[in-house]
A and B are shown apart, each in its own frame.
Chain A
């Protein structure tokens, strides 16, 4: 990723939209 000086570049993993949150526990 090339960024402009002084411009913040998004870092970290891409947020996956699915699956969603676990409400209780996973079997």
Chain B
């Protein structure tokens, strides 16, 4: 639609290469500024309007749908290499409104607003009647499973004591009765084997994060804990550019998005 119809904007095709460029910049922005949870990937462009901007440039007002990937935001893996969380694993989508400026051929984010929500239980049941649904992160079984997994990891760890950063997702499995959890950890200034009071341990100035997956299986008279953690390389903290009027803490963000990530170290599985 040409300019000059009284609306002040033009409508591009949602699959237009220029629209896709703006959408990909928006998704990169999401992944660079998420402080918790998982990286997202573009799923669909819902709407786009392009406004002329004086004295120069264009503003893309764009609505996009995203999907959660399996990569935690602290994982330095480029989001292009992260697979999408499947419906059977209880997928999560994001709905976002962005304003992206294109000036001198360069895109930059002016504003962003996103909400994320898990797929409905009914939809998960349609594709997999027996698949476990996402559980509340403050569920007592979830909290216990994370505590047990972290203790098991630190007990076998000869280096730094790792403390919990966040519980990222959890599922209660009915058969065999078990709790599956995923959580982020960070290295502290304590030595794992020497810790008596974890409360006195402090995260290192040069942050070193890890991401753990664990299953706690209930047994007669006890429980089994299996945990695998990937420890990411330390990353220097760099300031992040922010759009006008938005102030997002960046201390964790910069460590999650290096230009060329070194290899991570997988520790585990530990049983």
Interchain CB contact (< 8 A) of B46 among A19, A23, A24: A19
Interface residue B48 (Cβ < 8 Å from any Cβ of A): yes
Question: CB distance B67 to A24 under 8 Å?
Answer: yes
Interface residue A22 (Cβ < 8 Å from any Cβ of B): yes
Question: CB distance B13 to A24 under 8 Å?
Answer: no
Bound Cα distance A27, B12 (Å): 25
Question: CB distance B84 to A20 under 8 Å?
Answer: no
Residue numbers in A under 8 Å from B65 (CB-CB): 26
Question: CB distance A17 to B11 under 8 Å?
Answer: yes
Interface size on A, residues (CB 8 A): 11
Question: CB distance B46 to A18 under 8 Å?
Answer: yes
Bound Cα distance A25, B19 (Å): 20
Interface residue B165 (Cβ < 8 Å from any Cβ of A): no
Identify the stretch in B37-45, B128-136, B202-210 within 8 Å (CB) of chain A at 4 or more residues: B37-45
Bound Cα distance A12, B48 (Å): 24
Q: For window 1-27 of chain A, which residues contact chain B by CB distance below 8 Å?
A: 17-27
Interchain CB contact (< 8 A) of B15 among A21, A24, A25, A27: A21
Residue numbers in A under 8 Å from B20 (CB-CB): 20
Interchain CB contact (< 8 A) of B48 among A18, A21, A26, A27: A18
User: In the complex, what's the smallest C-beta–C-beta distance from B47 to chain A, in angstroms?
Assistant: 5
Residue numbers in B under 8 Å from A23 (CB-CB): 41-44
Bound Cα distance A23, B24 (Å): 13
Residue numbers in B under 8 Å from A25 (CB-CB): 43, 67, 87, 91
Residue numbers in A under 8 Å from B182 (CB-CB): none
Closest residue of B by beta carbon distance from A18: B14
Question: CB distance B87 to A20 under 8 Å?
Answer: no
User: In the complex, what's the smallest C-beta–C-beta distance from A26 to chain B, in angstroms?
Assistant: 7
Interface residue B61 (Cβ < 8 Å from any Cβ of A): no
User: In the complex, what's the smallest C-beta–C-beta distance from A18 to chain B, in angstroms?
Assistant: 4
User: In the complex, what's the smallest C-beta–C-beta distance from B231 to chain A, in angstroms?
Assistant: 29
User: In the complex, what's the smallest C-beta–C-beta distance from A25 to chain B, in angstroms?
Assistant: 7
Bound Cα distance A6, B208 (Å): 72
Q: A26-B44, A27-B123 are in contact. Are A20 and B14 (CB under 8 A)?
A: yes
Closest residue of B by beta carbon distance from A20: B14
Residue numbers in A under 8 Å from B75 (CB-CB): none
Q: List 29 A-B contacts (CB under 8 A).
A: A17-B11, A17-B12, A17-B13, A17-B14, A18-B11, A18-B13, A18-B14, A18-B45, A18-B46, A18-B47, A18-B48, A19-B14, A19-B44, A20-B13, A20-B19, A20-B46, A21-B14, A21-B44, A22-B43, A23-B44, A24-B41, A24-B43, A24-B67, A24-B84, A25-B91, A26-B43, A27-B91, A27-B93, A27-B119
